[in-house]
Amino acid sequence: MRINGVTDMLEWNADYLTGVEEIDLQHQYFLKLINRIEAKLASIVLNHGHNSLLKELVLYARFHFISEENFMAEAGFPELEQHSQLHNEIAGRLNSEIQMLEMDMVEPMHIVMWLSDWFREHTLVEDQKYALYLKSR
């Protein structure tokens, strides 16, 4: 929820669970990282890509997407290719959002709102397809 362009901090809840402990732990860390970025917005000094929290976010996203896709491949998830494509699109968009932020083309809160919306949508919709697949096996 947003009030005057400000998001509420994301809170972990059971709706985000996939049933794969390692993925769920990674999602919890992702959520905490987004909240850390939001909490530090006032003190973030962007130095053309050298902000440590934004670097951590990009690297963690890359790690998480590969890890999640490996679990999906091992389970024979039939929608792996589509899910992988979504990950590629998200990674590209994340890089674009950070570049726009560094060039002062968007406000810092814009990236937090986008990350929060993405996390909710992707975890509650796309990742739940995998969770349902696992439960049906």
> Across-strand partners of 3?
6
The total number of structural domains in the chain stands at: 1
Q: How far is CA 68 from the centre of its chain?
A: 12
pLDDT along the chain (137 residues), means of 10: 53 94 96 89 54 88 97 98 98 93 84 93 96 93
- Residue 10 forms part of a structural domain: no
* Radius of gyration of the chain from its Cα atoms, rounded to whole angstroms: 15
- Residue 19 forms part of a structural domain: no
Say if residue 112 is exposed, middle or buried (CB neighbours under 10 Å; 0-12, 13-18, 19+). buried
- Residue 7 forms part of a structural domain: no
Domain that holds residue 118: 34-136
- Residue 22 forms part of a structural domain: no
CATH code of 126's domain: 1.20.120.50
Provide the whole-model pTM. Answer: 0.84
Sign of the Cα pseudo-torsion (109, 42, 58, 92, in order): positive
- Residue 20 forms part of a structural domain: no
